[in-house]
Amino acid sequence: MRSGAAVRACRKVCRCLLSGFGGRVDGGPPELSVEGSGSLGVPLRSHAEPPGGSEPPEAPEAGEGSQELVEICRRRRFFSGSKRQLSQHSLLNGCHSGFGPLGIELRKNLAAEWWSSVAVVREQVFPVDALHHEPGPTLPGDSAFRLVSAETLREILQDKELSKEQLVAFLENLLKTSGKLRENLLHGALEHYVSCLDLVNKRLPYGLAQIGVCFHPVSDTKQTSDGIKRIGEKTEASLVWFTSARTAGQWLDFWLRHRLLWWRKFAVSPSNFSSSDCQDEEGRKGNQLYYNFPWGKEPIETLWNLGDHELLHMYPGNESQLHGRDGRKNVVPYVLSINGNLDRGVLAYLYDSFQLTENSFTRKKNLHRKVLKLHPCLAPVKVALDVGRGPTVELRQVCQGLFNELLENGISVWPGYMETVQSSLEQLYSKLCFRRELKTEEAANGDQVTNFMASKT
């Protein structure tokens, strides 16, 4: 194959790939089709539907499957850290070493889908941002972490002339004047309420959306037997919806239905996502969305009707600036808070996608392959490019051209052709599972990919 022929083949295959993703070669936004026919004439199916004539893949057992999933995610760089650091408790509470490259891409795709469903499609939702810490006095029962200078604290503790009462007073004053790490994104959104109210000409309803890292105390007696709490982190996706008291209940029902359908949209087993009513200590009603993990249900999102108390508390003494228009009336809006935990969402979809499938490249019928059947929209890698043994210089040029053109069109690519250890085509085929789903195919590591094996001509 000459260089010119390689380039032409590269462009031809790339156009086929881009059309398979519903995209355009001119750089337009890709579009995923759910109905119709694939680019190779194969009818498209939902990602959760098994191929015709085949049995659905087996779901792993709860205890064994959990350990196998964590090991696969650690080995495939969805999570970083050792086996000991990736316990069930640490994964749920954000105390592990963090996500690996594929885990970060998965969470980024989940966040992008959240923005599209909540903020982009509604013209009265605006993105906002806020600091990771917020000022405020220490309140009774406040469990938030405070930002205190270690040098200042050391000077106070080493001052031997201070009495016990003076030492306590100094420490209390230090805590009152220091900022606290945010536990949620509500406070930052409320700070933007008045300024963003003018963007909608004071007309209700409207919303403020934000994604950011929040912090919370975690008690772990196995790690700290002296009762000292550790800091847990989570990436929250927050929508604060301002509406009149008259329609607050209707909007809460709307967002509950909208969010539950959204979580189920990307799931292999949508029934694992459920909702239930809840109530806080102050009697305010809300809802929680759960995912049914192998060990039981865990909350992944909460929806609260906070009334007008939060706004009146933040802006005391000037109620008129809070007024929004509900028809012809000026009212102080009710606040609906919708908070989703994207880190737990990633964990939920990893458990949801974990399946055992038959290995068609081995004669042992009882040997199963462990795969992650992620939804194409969430999959960290969309295309894998591999070459087999033999003369590969020109084939690598073709793969490099495909890689560059796909990357320019916003399609994530795994450059398997750059691996220095050569493998046979049979080994590569056993590594990748070819199955047509939503114009993609699925890799053994769980990535939904469209894979083209280049051969020497």
Q: Can the peptide bond before residue 205 be classed as cis, meaning omega within 30 degrees of 0?
A: yes
The CATH H-level (homologous superfamily) assignment of domain 381-437 is Anticodon-binding domain (3.40.50.800)
Neighbouring C-alpha atoms within 13 Å toward the C-beta of 141: 1
Q: Over the stretch 321-363, which tens digit does the pLDDT of each residue have?
A: 999 999 999 999 999 999 999 999 999 999 999 987 766 555 5
Task: State the span(s) of the chain assigned CATH 3.40.50.800.
Answer: 381-437
Distances (CA, A) of 144 to 172, 252, 281, 311, 333: 15, 28, 18, 21, 27
Output the pLDDT for position 132. Answer: 78
Query: What three-state secondary structure class fits 230?
Result: strand
Output the pLDDT for position 443. Answer: 42
Neighbouring C-alpha atoms within 13 Å toward the C-beta of 215: 15
The CATH H-level (homologous superfamily) assignment of domain 64-132+182-220+229-350 is Bira Bifunctional Protein; Domain 2 (3.30.930.10)
Output the pLDDT for position 291. Answer: 97
- The owner of tokens 């000459």 is 2
Provide the whole-model pTM.
0.74
- Give CA–CA dist 345/363, Å, rounded: 37
For residues 125 and 242, is the Cβ–Cβ distance under 8 A? no
Task: State the span(s) of the chain assigned CATH 3.30.930.10.
Answer: 64-132+182-220+229-350
Q: Over the stretch 410-419, which tens digit does the pLDDT of each residue have?
A: 888 877 766 6
Distances (CA, A) of 283 to 2, 250, 278, 340: 74, 19, 9, 21
Query: What three-state secondary structure class fits 131?
Result: coil
Q: What is the pLDDT along the chain (457 residues), one digit of tens a residue?
A: 444 554 455 555 455 544 444 433 333 333 333 333 333 233 333 343 333 333 444 444 444 567 888 888 888 888 887 777 777 777 777 777 788 889 999 999 999 999 999 876 577 899 999 887 776 655 555 666 777 777 877 877 887 878 888 888 877 777 777 778 888 899 999 999 999 999 999 999 999 999 999 887 887 655 555 567 778 889 999 999 999 999 999 999 999 999 999 999 999 999 999 999 998 888 888 999 999 999 999 999 999 999 999 999 989 888 889 999 999 999 999 999 999 999 999 999 999 999 877 665 555 555 677 888 999 999 998 888 777 665 567 777 888 888 889 888 888 887 776 665 555 555 554 454 333 332 333 444 444 443 433 333 2
Output the pLDDT for position 211. Answer: 96
Q: Over the stretch 256-285, which tens digit does the pLDDT of each residue have?
A: 999 999 999 999 999 999 999 998 888 888
H/E stretch holding 234 reads strand 230-243
For residues 286 and 279, is the Cβ–Cβ distance under 8 A? yes
Output the pLDDT for position 375. Answer: 94
